[in-house]
Amino acid sequence: MIKFDRSSSGILIVCTDCPYWYAYRFEQREAYLSGEGHLTRVHDVPAEVADNARTKWEGRHAARS
């Protein structure tokens, strides 16, 4: 499972199943994409499942503007 640790400078992306893996991005959308890539490559999560969190987030942001 992907978790995001946000700080003032960026977003640390970690996987609760892979203590050795992490990534760092400066934008939330990029952070979601990075997490999705990890889930599909390493955990064989189907892309349409892996992108759920991002599509929900994008939906919320689209509704706001």
Given the complex with Zn ion, which of 18 and 49 has the nearer CB atom? 18
Site for Zn ion in 5-64 (CB under 5 A): 15, 17-18, 42
State which H helix or E strand residue 21 sits in: strand 18-25
Q: Minimum CB separation from Zn ion for residue 43, in Å?
A: 6
CA distance 46 to 41: 9
The number of residues that bind Zn ion (CB under 5 A) is 4
Helix ranges, the chain (H): 28-42, 47-50, 52-64
Contacts with Zn ion, residue ranges (CB under 5 A): 15, 17-18, 42
